[in-house]
Amino acid sequence: FSKHGIFVERTLALVKPDAINKADEIETIILKHGFTVLEKRRITLTAEQCSDFYSEHYGKKFFPSLVAFMTSAPVVAMVLAKENAIQQWRDLIGPTNSNVAKETHPDSSIRALFGTNEQKNAVHGSDSAVSAEREIRFFFPNCVVEPIPTGPPATDY
Ligand code: RTP
Ligand code: MG
């Protein structure tokens, strides 16, 4: 909370290349779950941009394949706002591996509904407040980071 009003948490969502043709359908689900889409852009990542975005995974066995996948077609990046948005969005997308998601959350998980396997899993979600801030800035460098004031401007006495 801030003196300016209620802080509504924000997170970064990506529709990944394997689900790019389902981006509108996925956005409809996002809105149905009470998120607000504050920002949206469609972009084809370069290998350099993707390596930077997923730098926490640099050196892992799946990294080269992840970069090839994520640069194979456009992604849709969105800033989502909602109370507890980071955890709420991670809950809605489900487990990383879409095959696991299909076992555990067959009807509700976006990764179960639109993904294929441990790599082609349809969507991304920031995993912490620090990641969310970094990832929002990555795609939307001009995005306002302060809480949005609600009500009349504060008066100083
Ligand atoms: P994301 O960052 O995309 O939201 O996914 P996540 O937190 O659930 O999973 P993370 O461990 O951060 O992995 C990032 C993405 O790398 C691909 N991946 N491939 N064993 C594999 O082949 C493997 N493991 C992960 C997935 O696309 C995963 O979402
Ligand atoms: Mg991750």
Name the domain count of the chain: 1
95-104, 127-136, 140-149: the lowest-pLDDT one: 140-149
Nearest residue to 34 via CA among 79, 78, 76, 82: 82
Question: What is the Cα–Cα distance from 135 to 100, expressed in whole angstroms?
Answer: 26
Q: What is the CATH number of the domain that holds 95?
A: 3.30.70.141
Q: Judge whether residue 138 has pLDDT over 50.
A: yes
Nearest residue to 70 via CA among 93, 47, 102: 47
Active site residues: 124
Question: What is the Cα–Cα distance from 25 to 10, expressed in whole angstroms?
Answer: 21
Question: What is the Cα–Cα distance from 108 to 105, expressed in whole angstroms?
Answer: 6
Whose alpha carbon is nearest atom 13 of ligand 1?
96
Residue 48 lies in a domain: yes
Question: What is the Cα–Cα distance from 28 to 108, expressed in whole angstroms?
Answer: 14
Q: Count Cα neighbours of 33 within 13 Å in the Cβ-side half-sphere.
A: 24
Residue 105 lies in a domain: yes
pTM confidence score: 0.90
Q: Judge whether residue 5 has pLDDT over 70.
A: no
State mean pLDDT over 123-128. 98
Annotated binding site for ATP: 16, 62, 90, 96, 111, 121
Whose alpha carbon is nearest atom 17 of ligand 1?
119
Question: 43-88, pLDDT tens digit by residue?
Answer: 999 999 999 999 999 999 999 999 999 999 999 999 999 999 999 9
Residue 4 lies in a domain: no
Residue 16 lies in a domain: yes
Which ligand has the shortest distance to the CA of 12?
1
Q: What is the pLDDT of residue 107?
A: 95
Residue 145 lies in a domain: no
Q: What is the pLDDT of residue 145?
A: 61
Q: What is the ipTM of this complex?
A: 0.97
Residue 152 lies in a domain: no
Tokens of 64: 């080269």
Check pocket membership of 118 for ligand 1, CB cut-off 6 A: yes
Range of the domain at 31: 10-139
